[in-house]
Every structure is written in C-alpha cells, then in structure tokens.
Amino acid sequence: MGDTQKTIGVLTGGGDCPGLNAVLRAIVKTAANKYNWKVIGIEDGFEGLIVEPVRCREMTPWNIRGILQRGGTILGTTNRGNPFAYVAPIQNGPRDVSGQVIQNLHKLGIDALIVIGGEGSLKIAQKFFEMGVPVVGVPKTIDNDLRRIELTFGFDTAVNTAMDALDKLHSTAESHHRVIVVEVMGRHAGWIALCAGMAGGADVILIPEIPFKWETIIQKVRERQNSPAKFSILVAGEGAKPLGGQEMYYSPGDPGGTARLGGIGQLVAETLTKALDVEARVTVLGHVQRGGSPTAFDRILATRFGFWAVELVAREKFGEMVTIYRTRMSSVPIRDAVESLKTVPTDGELVDTAEAVGICLGR
C-alpha cells in the first residue's frame, strides 16, 4: 500500500473502442488495491472539464463492478471537445479554454491525469503536459495506427467483428455468384482491412497505403467469376483510393470534429458492375466494428495498460504513454507516439504473406 494519498483523474477521449472499460477497471482496482488512491472519472473526455459545473464522479472498485466485458466507455466520450479549439453550441469560432480545464483539475484536487485516447486526445494530453499538468497517456484505437506501440486494444475485437461479417457474407456471395465489397474502418491506415481480409479469406484487399489499379482488381474479379468459385469478396479500407485518385468522404464532419471517410466500397462495386456486368453488393460495416464485448485478448491487453498507467503515475513518469514492445509493457514519450501515423508497410511481411496466398492488393 502507498502511504501518500493521491487523487487520479481519468478520462476517455475520441471514438470509443472495445476494452475501454477494462482499462478503467484496472486503473480503479490498481489505484485502490495497490496504492489506496482515489480515482475521479471525468465524463465525456475533456468536455467534462470544460463545462461548468464539471462532470465527474468518484470511481471505486464497488461502483465499477461488472464492466470488464462491456463495450463502449462508462465515462462517455466525444471526438469533439478539444479544449485548445473548443466549439461551444452558441459561439462564433473555436476558443482556447485550456486554462479553465487546468483550474478545474486543481479544484478537484487531481494530482495526475490519465488520458485514454487515440492520436487526437493524446495530442491534447501532450499540450497539457507541456503546460505543467502531470499527465499519463493510455493509447486507444481500433485502427491500430499509433506509432511506438505494437498493438492497441480494440483492434483485435474490431478485426474479429469484420472477420465474422466476411464469413457470413461468403455464404451469400457464393450462393448468388455475386461480388460483395465490404468497406471497413481504419481511417488512413489499412490494418483492419488487411488483417480482417486475411482472416476472412478475402480475394481482394484495398488499403490506403497501396493506391490500387482498376485494371488489376477488374482482372482478379474476372478470373474469380470465371473460375469454379464464381463469387468474389473484396475488402476496402475506408481510406483506400485508386492510383491517381483521392480518398472519399461522406461529409466534411461536424463543427470541431473530423471529416468522415466513406464511399469507396460503393465506387468499387459500381465500377466492377460496369466493367464486368457482375451483380455486386456493398456492405459498410461502420460502427459495428467499434461496439460489443472485447475479445479475451483485448481484455487482457487493456487490463495490462490500466495497471501500467497507474504504475507510471506512481513512478512519476509524466508525459509518457503506456506501450507494449516485444510483448512487454513499458512507456514512451507521448510526443513521439503522436508524431505521425503508423501505417501498413507496403513491403512488409504481412503484405508479402497476403500476396503469396493469392490475395490481390490492387497493385
């Protein structure tokens, strides 16, 4: 047991992700059991520290019971609410309300803040660290696109969800001799598309890192439709684009939010229909990939991240983010992790394997 009573604040920011509750549970239990520290959960990411009165609640091992297997985050989250460019409901433009956040942290008596978030929330965490706030980061993203970390929790669950969809779509595509294009998440990184496509036996996988040639995928589908299989399954990462083309977007995004990728699946299906006179259908998996119960792998990883985050606070390693390297827990400066995105290496072993087993990547 630690003898200095501390109060830790914790928040979840950005898009939700299976395993967030498992991290929260591990933080609360480690803080209470190992150190006898108090944990205050901030609601809806940084937003909870911007609004007046602040939205937060004490978290104890008793009031967080039963959350390990639950998807989402019991604290709520938002991918708006950036305190450095905050857009309130009625106002003209973004405002810097970071000072207010720091004041509220003081008022709550928070000695250290654990930010569980993806690239966006961790960048905010880094700015607060530079302003003197003792911050520790926990990486979170189903996209698995953060640098300086091998694997993030939520990714395995998302890949399993997409794989399950591909398994189901196989039987209907085969029965109807159809082409089915499945659009998956991942923003500018193709990890979900590549891994789900490999696990789900896709014939074509399109990832943002490899702009695809129309003639290559048309040829692959032509061969498939003329083979005994007579059906094709294509997986397109939402950020995939044709050679010389641009990423496709559904909408420019909400004020203070980011633009929403989407539409490439539909374009691929329409182009194949025109080129080959095949019957094509599109399934956009969307947020189903972010929901649901985390896999065993993600629950364990998330629990290790939560424990390690508290350890970083105990060791006063502020400005650091929990990471896993060669299966061991450690930490890296948040600054390094958010410098650029971790994308799929186009000459890496995963891509080589996919191509060796006959998957067309469109090049």
Structure tokens, 338: 């958010």
The Cα–Cα gap between 347 and 30 comes to 41
Does 118 count as an annotated binding residue? Answer: yes
Residue number, nearest CB to ligand F6P: 185
Query: Alpha helices, DSSP H only, in 150-240?
Result: 155-176, 191-199, 214-226
Considering only CA atoms, give the Rg of the chain: 22
Structure tokens, 139: 């990486």
Query: Could you tell me the smallest distance in angstroms from the CB atom of residue 71 to ligand F6P?
Result: 13
Query: Alpha helices, DSSP H only, in the chain?
Result: 20-30, 47-50, 98-107, 119-130, 155-176, 191-199, 214-226, 264-276, 296-314, 334-337, 349-356
Cα–chain center distance at 250: 19
Does 290 count as an annotated binding residue? Answer: yes
Residue closer to ligand F6P by CB (options 125, 221) is 125
Residue closer to ligand F6P by CB (options 104, 289) is 289
Query: Could you tell me the smallest distance in angstroms from the CB atom of residue 146 to ligand F6P?
Result: 10
Does 15 count as an annotated binding residue? Answer: yes
The Cα–Cα gap between 85 and 360 comes to 42
Catalytic (active site) residue 164: no
Name residues whose C-beta falls within 8 Å of residue 27's C-beta, 6 or more positions apart in sequence: 8, 10, 39, 114, 306, 307, 309, 310
- Helix or strand or coil: residue 327? coil
Residue of 3, 16, 44, 143 marked catalytic: 143
Does 188 count as an annotated binding residue? Answer: no
Q: Are 16 and 119 in contact (CB under 8 A)?
A: no
Query: Could you tell me the smallest distance in angstroms from the CB atom of residue 192 to ligand F6P?
Result: 7
Neighbours of 159 (CB within 10 A): 26
Query: Could you tell me the smallest distance in angstroms from the CB atom of residue 162 to ligand F6P?
Result: 11
* Nearest by Cα to 166 from 143, 147, 192, 140: 192
Contact residues: ligand F6P, CB under 6 A: 15, 79, 118, 141-143, 185-187, 238, 260-261, 290
Query: Could you tell me the smallest distance in angstroms from the CB atom of residue 143 to ligand F6P?
Result: 5
Residues designated catalytic: 143
Q: Residues comprising the binding site for Mg(2+)? A: 119
